[in-house]
Structure 1
Amino acid sequence: MFTILIVEDDALLLDALTGQLQQQGYGVCTASSVPEASALLQAQAVDGIILDLGLPGADGMDLLVWVRSHIAGLPVLILTARDGVDERVRGLNAGADDYITKPFNMQELQARLQAMLRRARQPAFTHAASAPGGQSISLGPLQLDPASQTAALGGVALELTQREWELLELLVQRCGEVVTREDVLAAWRASPPEPGQAAATLNSNALEVYVHRLRKKLDPSSLAIRNIRGLGYMLAKP
């Protein structure tokens, strides 16, 4: 039986979704905010997420970025009232597997959910997870171990700060794709600060410093972090 986490702050919609999915044989757990959802994901395993973006306190996109940084292969279906093309593109580029706007048809949602879960179980769509026991990720001479949050270049360990590790992991997981500044900052804000670092220092200027430092550490390899003007960064495929 699949277990689905529904992250939705509308109590009536949450109840309706829960009832419908349980009737279809799914196990369901729920959360109404980003902190509640991230705490639940760290406490128990789920097979997929239905995620609203308009959540109180923190945007659902923050949770999506956190999931992609910590549980890379977990399927996520965005269910939101935001129907603009830019929002759809942003959600899909941030790692969502599907995107449905409200109001929606329940049968269509169930069909898309089933298709998403089915794809996630196929070998071609499996990803290394950043949870304890997750598999290592290799990209050219670079190897990442999400379980211990360590990286090596050509067999030589890299000395990385927590922020550098999170930036590198996000770039590697989305190698060949644009990672926006907002995506990186959201991932950083979703994790504990480094010792002596205030949350207020997490801004674009700080990000430029971390990118520069990470570039220098990758210099001996063929891996290059490119600036995509006006958008963010991309780790070029070796």
Structure 2
Amino acid sequence: MRVLVIEDDVDLQRQLNAALDAAGYAVDPAYDGEQGEFLGQTESYDAVVLDLGLPKLDGLSVLRSWRESDNNVPVLILTARGSWTERVEGIDAGADDYLSKPFQMAELVARVRALIRRASGHGSAELSCGPVTLDTRANRVTVDGAPVSLTAHEYRVLAYLMHHQGRTVSRSELSEHVYAQDLDRDSNTIEVFVRRLRKKLGRDLIRTERGLGYRIDSPGAAQGAPVAGGR
């Protein structure tokens, strides 16, 4: 899962990046409105943390630009304490949630987690399919209640597929949501992560749709043909 953080305060940006990275997200930073607006229009994100008081282009203008172009990425805005007019303007401009500065980092991470969960149609912080459960609050994966150790990239691949159960996800889409912008994205490595996940979680969890990508079926969905291929 991938998050864009648009914040011009270098220290706060660093803290936000560290907290979201520790929570299992790939994070792209932007330090002004123009850079953030461009990234939001050209890259794929699962959520955005957007400060309103930005240089070059203010946060409200960034948000309005995205919404006018039908970019519906979930957005959490950061506002100054007591500035209720900013909060109202942000919500009216299309923000999904807001948080006033100063704030507890744990609350921000929880709000981002909730935005991503709601955007994909999930009400619970625990996502399950068969014996596999992913607890988004603790970045914890279990099989029949027993914890399973995953690398950061394995976790992100599984989390994205679990959030989008019942839908076939291409390798290129997975690659866009697993890697931060400054990393070399190779969609072929997604096959490696999927192969590892099958070894750790069971071969039948992630299905291969030949020529299309991968999918995890929703709980109770009818099972089709056996998993195609070993990749």
1:73 partner SS = coil
In structure 2, what is the equivalent of residue 19 of structure 1? Answer: 18
Once the 2 structures are TM-superposed, how far is the Cα of residue 3 of structure 1 from its aligned partner?
A: 0.4
CA distance in 2, matches of 1:86, 1:41: 24
Once the 2 structures are TM-superposed, how far is the Cα of residue 82 of structure 1 from its aligned partner?
A: 5.1
In structure 1, what is the equivalent of residue 66 of structure 2? Answer: 67
Q: Do 1:5 and 1:28's aligned partners in 2 also have CA atoms closer than 8 Å?
A: yes
Aligned length: 123
Once the 2 structures are TM-superposed, how far is the Cα of residue 122 of structure 1 from its aligned partner?
A: 1.5
1:114 counterpart letter in structure 2: R
In structure 1, what is the equivalent of residue 105 of structure 2? Answer: 106
In structure 1, what is the equivalent of residue 89 of structure 2? Answer: 90
2:67 counterpart letter in structure 1: R
Once the 2 structures are TM-superposed, how far is the Cα of residue 88 of structure 1 from its aligned partner?
A: 1.2
CA distance in 2, matches of 1:71, 1:14: 27
CA distance in 1, matches of 2:91, 2:84: 11
Cα deviations by residue, 1:73-131 (Å, 9 ceiling, x for unpaired): 210000122532222111111110001010001111111111111111129xxxxxxxx
CA distance in 2, matches of 1:81, 1:38: 21
Q: Do 1:73 and 1:120's aligned partners in 2 also have CA atoms closer than 8 Å?
A: no
Q: Do 1:76 and 1:97's aligned partners in 2 also have CA atoms closer than 8 Å?
A: yes
**What pairs up with 1:42-191 in 2 under 5 angstroms?**
42-81=41-80, 83-122=82-121
2:63 counterpart letter in structure 1: L
Q: Structure 1's 106 and 82: CA in aligned 2 closer, same or farther, altered over 3 A?
A: same
CA distance in 2, matches of 1:22, 1:109: 13
Once the 2 structures are TM-superposed, how far is the Cα of residue 41 of structure 1 from its aligned partner?
A: 2.4
In structure 1, what is the equivalent of residue 210 of structure 2? Answer: none
Question: Unmatched 5+ residue regions in structure 1?
Answer: 124-238
CA distance in 1, matches of 2:113, 2:43: 21
TM-score by length of 2: 0.50
Once the 2 structures are TM-superposed, how far is the Cα of residue 67 of structure 1 from its aligned partner?
A: 1.3
1:49 partner SS = strand
Matched, 1:7 2:6: yes
TM-score by length of 1: 0.49
In structure 2, what is the equivalent of residue 184 of structure 1? Answer: none
Identical pairs, percent: 44
In structure 2, what is the equivalent of residue 157 of structure 1? Answer: none
**What pairs up with 1:31-42 in 2 under 5 angstroms?**
31-42=30-41
Q: Do 2:51 and 2:79's aligned partners in 1 also have CA atoms closer than 8 Å?
A: yes
CA distance in 2, matches of 1:53, 1:100: 11
Question: Unmatched 5+ residue regions in structure 2?
Answer: 123-231
Once the 2 structures are TM-superposed, how far is the Cα of residue 71 of structure 1 from its aligned partner?
A: 4.0
Once the 2 structures are TM-superposed, how far is the Cα of residue 20 of structure 1 from its aligned partner?
A: 0.9
Once the 2 structures are TM-superposed, how far is the Cα of residue 60 of structure 1 from its aligned partner?
A: 0.7
Q: Do 1:4 and 1:49's aligned partners in 2 also have CA atoms closer than 8 Å?
A: yes
Bigger RCO of structures 1 and 2 (CA < 8 A, at least 6 apart): 2
2:29 partner SS = strand
CA distance in 2, matches of 1:72, 1:42: 7
1:81 counterpart letter in structure 2: A
Q: Do 2:79 and 2:86's aligned partners in 1 also have CA atoms closer than 8 Å?
A: no
1:51 partner SS = strand
CA distance in 2, matches of 1:67, 1:83: 26
CA distance in 1, matches of 2:11, 2:84: 27
Once the 2 structures are TM-superposed, how far is the Cα of residue 70 of structure 1 from its aligned partner?
A: 2.0
